[in-house]
Structure 1
Amino acid sequence: MRSFSPADQILFGLMNASLLFTIAYWILGFDRQFATGFAIEDGPVEYGTALMLLVSALVLAWQAVRQFRMGQALAGVCLVVYALIFVFGTGEEISWGQRILGLETPDYLMERNYQEEITLHNIVVGGKQLTKTVFGGGLTVAILLYLLALPALYGKSAVVTRLADRLAVPVPLWRHGIMGVGASVVMLVVDIPRQWEVYELVFSLLTVSIFLAPANLAAFGRRTAT
């Protein structure tokens, strides 16, 4: 089993601490303090998530540059697309800097965004919030499949292994899957306002860890650390 790097020790420490804080607030009944303090809008959890999503994007961009230099154009393009997805996630997390810059919400979004802010994931379409229809439970299932099914199949299924390597998909290690399942269990058990903000933070920390040192390091032209 690959040992924890110094970066992973910090990242997993932050994940564990965030989940333990959430459990402690819930057990002690400090719902209001949690919602208006630890997990408050524009607070440490939300900005931490945005920062980690941005770091994930930068790591993917760095990997893309390496792939282009190695002559792996397809892998490089795929990594650029992945990086742009995380840039989009960063922008959405902080409403594209609306409150930081003091921007006004356009009339179009004021009428269609249930939080009246500059984001796409909070738009209401056909009476349903886009977050719940597109970015909701289905996305959670897809993420868990990525964390659990891909590591299980990589190296055992020739098709999955070839596709993951050709498309430069960073494959999680088992510890990432275990953390993802653990965080999901905590969210199902705990019932406290804004708990899902912590869930997002945990997964943003997970992606940084995965992208820095995926299970398929060799596909990125790097040696596997022991």
Structure 2
Amino acid sequence: MFREKNSWIEYLVVFTVFTFVIIGIFLSIYNLDYYRNSYAVEDGLIEWLTVVSLLFASMICVVRAFKIRLKRGSLFLACLCFSSLVFIFGAGEEISWGQRIFDIQSSEFFQQHNAQKETNFHNLKIGGVKINKLLFGTILSIVVVIYLTLFPIAYRRTDWGKKIIDMFAIPLPKLLYIMSYAALFLILLTIPTKNRGELLEFGGATLFAFIVLFPANKELFEST
């Protein structure tokens, strides 16, 4: 059992996330054109903040793997490296792997199967199934709910839960972040679904990056 302590940095990050989200909600209601074409546009401020958060989380995993490479088993290190790659993949998908930045033409496959004709996987539509809605919508939402609710309970109340979470190098969310995720979801219900995507991605990615940096089971990732 452990006691959760939150630093001023964590409170500042949560405050900043909700500041950007509330500004976005205000714009989506009172200045929808600016919201869609400037604030939450592709390659706009919110999208790039999301990318920075994902790359930051990836860097944390790499640094930890390097620092504790002699303290943990190979599975633990492999999970940290895998997590880092997942965050890089998310960042790459967010900006379509630099396609718009470098003005790269999409291949024939993505021209035919991507809903936005971009070089990314989350906008693919194969056999009438939208990958974004299925994998990054429904499935990811279920995983996040399980992670935020069942994982903390299992870690604290069962030996097998703690063993599995420690074995696979899973950062455990603090109550601060669990409540923040719940508040984020509820607040974003105030705007239409088609307008909340970028804000949800930004808020979710940033909060998760700081779960990785300040996990409730931080002792697991310390080198000493």
TM-score range, shorter chain: over 0.9
Instruction: Return the offset for 1:6.
Output: 4.0
Q: Contact 1:187–1:195 at 8 Å: present in 2 too?
A: yes
Label 1:69 to 1:6 Cα distance change in 2 as closer, same or farther (>3 A): farther
Paired residues for 1:16-27 under 5 Å? 16-26=18-28
Match of 1:10 in 2: 12
Paired residues for 1:155-166 under 5 Å? 155-166=156-167
Label 1:47 to 1:10 Cα distance change in 2 as closer, same or farther (>3 A): same
1:119-165 deviation per Cα after TM superposition (whole angstroms, max 9, x unaligned): 01111111121111221122112112212221222221111111111
Letter in 2 for 1:93: E
Label 1:178 to 1:222 Cα distance change in 2 as closer, same or farther (>3 A): farther
* Residues 1:105 and 2:100 aligned together: no
Q: More deviation in 184-193 or 172-181?
A: 184-193
Partner-residue secondary structure (3-state), 1:134: helix
* Residues 1:52 and 2:53 aligned together: yes
1:66-107 deviation per Cα after TM superposition (whole angstroms, max 9, x unaligned): 231314321111110111111100100000000111111111
Instruction: Return the offset for 1:111.
Output: 0.9
Partner-residue secondary structure (3-state), 2:136: coil
Match of 2:216 in 1: 215
CA distance in 1, matches of 2:142, 2:88: 22
Aligned residues: 222
Label 1:222 to 1:213 Cα distance change in 2 as closer, same or farther (>3 A): farther
Instruction: Return the offset for 1:24.
Output: 2.0
Label 1:171 to 1:75 Cα distance change in 2 as closer, same or farther (>3 A): same
Q: Which runs of 5+ in 2 are unaligned?
A: none
Letter in 1 for 2:73: Q
Q: Contact 1:67–1:73 at 8 Å: present in 2 too?
A: no
Match of 2:177 in 1: 176
Q: Contact 2:80–2:169 at 8 Å: present in 1 too?
A: yes
Match of 2:139 in 1: 138
Instruction: Return the offset for 1:169.
Output: 0.4
Moved over 6 A (4+): none
Match of 1:85 in 2: 86
> What is the TM-score with the length of structure 2 in the denominator?
0.92
> What is the TM-score with the length of structure 1 in the denominator?
0.91
Letter in 2 for 1:185: L
Q: More deviation in 190-199 or 152-161?
A: 190-199
CA-based RMSD of the aligned residues comes to 1.7
Match of 1:43 in 2: 44
